[in-house]
Each structure stands twice: as C-alpha cells, then as structure tokens.
Amino acid sequence: MLAAEKLVKRYGARNVLDGFDLTVAPGEITGLIGHNGAGKTTFVEVVTGLVRPDAGRLWVAGHDALRSGSAVRRLLGVAPQELALYNRVSVREHLRLFAGLAGLRGRRRDAETTRVLDELHLAPVADRPAGVLSGGQRRRVQAATAMVGSPPLLLLDEPTAGADPETRAALLAAVRARAEAGAAVLYTTHYLPELVDLDATVALARAGRVIARGSQQELTRDLPGELRVAFDDPAEPELRLPTTDPGADLAALLASGRTPVSVDVRRPGLDDLYRSLEATFSEQDGGEVRDVVR
Ligand SMILES: Nc1ncnc2c1ncn2[C@@H]1O[C@H](COP(=O)(O)OP(=O)(O)OP(=O)(O)O)[C@@H](O)[C@H]1O
C-alpha cells in the first residue's frame, strides 16, 4: 500500500531524509520510532504531499505519489503531530466534514459519523466545539478525522502524545480495528509499549534513514534478556545477568552450589533493541549509518 524508496529531503545543507526506505502492507501496522529529529514527521509530511522530496520514489496503492498527488490524497487519513482542528466547529461537524471529503453523502455520512464518534468515545462531547475540549479529547477528535470514511492508508503521527490511559486505550483499539479491516497504518510514537500492544512491525529511523525493520520477534531475537535470581543471602539478595541462553546460565548457577529462592527471566524487548541500536550508531565514527536488520 505504501512504498518509499531512497527518499531524500534537504533543508539547507542537511539531509533530513537521507535515503529513507519503508513499506507498509495492507492490514499491517508499522510503528516508526527513532530519536527526536530522526525524520519521522518529515517522512509523514512527504507522504501527505505537504513536503516535496529532493530525490527518491514513493508509491501509494500503486500510484506514483510524487506525480499523482491528488489521486493519492483521497486514500489517506492523516492525524498530524501538531493538532489541526477548527476551534469553533463541533466534534460532530468535524467528522461530517471529513466524511464528506472522503466521498460519503447523506445517510452514509451520518452513519459513519456516529460510528466513529462511538469508536473513539466522543459521543458525549459530539456537540461541543473542539476549542473547549481537553487535550486528550482533542487528540481523539484528530484521530477520528483521520479514520472517518475508512481510508486504506492511515498516517498517525504521535496520536497518543499526552493522552491519558483511557484515551490511549480507545485510540489503540481503534487502530487495531482499522488494521484488522485491511488498512495499512503508519504509526509514529515514542511510547514503545504501544507497539507491543498493537503487535506492530517496527521500523527504527536514525538520522534520516530506516536502519532496522522487522517484526518485534525478529528484531529482538538475538538480543540478551535478563536472568534475575533471588537468594536468601543478605550479602547478595539478587543477581541480574544479561543472557541469551537463560536455561544454560541458570544450570551453571545451580551447578555452582547456590540455591535460588526465586528465578525470573525477562525477555528482550523493544527498549533493549532501541538502546542497542542507538549505542551501536553513536559509537561509529562520523555517525555513519549502516543497515542492521532487513
Ligand atoms: N521546515 C524545516 N526547515 C528546516 N529544518 C526542518 C524543517 N522541518 C524539519 N526540519 C528538521 O528536520 C529534522 C527532522 O525533523 P522531524 O520533525 O522529521 O523529526 P522527528 O523524527 O519527527 O522528531 P520528533 O521525534 O521530535 O517528532 C529536525 O532536525 C528538524 O529540525
């Protein structure tokens, strides 16, 4: 549904996108993560057509998106990082407006508006102007404007930033439902546990390039987890060992004659992946970026 190849975007002398490659298939949620300034929002802006890249190629649903922008825009639902709502317009009117832009009319437009209001728990504030809502409610309205009309490609740029747990849960449930219905979802976030919840494919951006991409299982498989062993010993109540083979390491520990009172194995997670890749790249001379996982 979305395929970006070697995108380059320069601001002044700086390549903010520097050979950015990414694909998102129908039904797939891709979580795009990376440090502040890695180029995530710039990539979203290129896909929406707001920013023109200096080089590279971009396809959306088989269209060359850098040539046929207007055909592509109809396929997108976008929730930008900076909230963009009309303060005096009610929540319901926002959704009616975006449903209309998605091509729905009459009863179908009303039904879709009601459905999305319910889905994002916005029915109680449907007739309030967006400007009087709380931050979390406004986040939900923004996501709702992206989802109304069920576009086949959703671009959600930090949709849960500053959201309370209830808002976060409603948004994540709606995102999962959209992907299950076949939408391709690009989801940027700094909250890695959300990507576990969404069972998302993960793409890690650094300095304008995607340096690692794959399922969470693939990306974390070779990283060490942690073996935590507690002893009834005030001198050493707990031992924490990085491990890629917890069974063997525990057997070695037992063979040494020590008797644990409890054993816990923590599997490697996305935070370990993030830290390990960041450490790899910050050690490299000149910040040269290379592909780690494909
Ligand atoms: N219009 C612009 N002119 C000049 N530089 C820009 C412009 N837009 C973005 N940049 C720069 O491009 C870099 C990438 O920004 P971008 O917003 O894409 O990063 P990001 O990965 O989304 O970061 P964050 O996690 O903070 O949202 C930053 O250094 C930013 O300052």
> According to the model, what pLDDT value does residue 253 have?
87
pLDDT attached to residue 86: 95
The pLDDT assigned to 292 comes to: 52
Q: Whose CA is nearest to atom 28 of ligand 1?
A: 37
Strands 209-214 and 225-231: unpaired
How far apart are the CA of 42 and the centre of ligand 1, in A? 6
Distance 40 CA to ligand 1 centre (A): 8
Nearest residue to 187 via CA among 5, 25, 18, 40: 40
Mutate to test the pocket of ligand 1, among 9, 15, 42 (most ligand atoms within 8 A of CB): 42
For residue 284, the model assigns a pLDDT of 56
Nearest CA to ligand 1 atom 6: 11
Residue 202 in contact with residue 33, Cβ under 8 Å? Answer: yes
ipTM of the complex: 0.96
pLDDT at 174: 95
- Output the tens digit of pLDDT for each of the chain's 294 residues: 999 999 999 999 999 999 999 999 999 999 999 999 999 999 999 999 999 999 999 999 999 999 887 788 889 999 998 889 999 999 999 999 999 998 999 999 999 999 999 999 999 999 999 999 998 899 999 999 999 999 999 999 999 988 888 889 999 999 999 999 999 999 999 999 999 999 999 999 999 999 999 999 999 888 888 999 999 888 889 999 889 888 899 899 889 888 899 999 988 888 888 888 877 777 654 444 444 554
Q: How far is the CA of 87 from the centre of ligand 1 (A)?
A: 26
DSSP 8-state symbol, 38: S
Output the six-digit token pair for 195.
């990507």
Q: Delineate the domains of the chain, giving CATH numbers in brackets.
A: 1-75+152-221+270-294 (3.40.50.300), 87-143 (no CATH), 224-267 (no CATH)
**Residue whose CA is at the smallest distance from ligand 1 atom 19:** 37
Q: How far is the CA of 264 from the centre of ligand 1 (A)?
A: 41
CA of 17 to the centre of ligand 1 (A): 9
Instruction: Collect all residues with Cβ–Cβ distance below 8 Å to 7 and sequence separation of at least 6.
Output: 17, 19, 20, 21, 43, 46, 53, 55, 56, 57, 58
pLDDT number for residue 285? 42
Q: What's the one-letter identity of residue 186?
A: L
CA 65-70-71 angle, 5° bins: 70
Say if ligand 1 is within 6 A of residue 9 CB.
Answer: no
Say how far apart CA 278 and CA 270 lie, in whole Å: 12
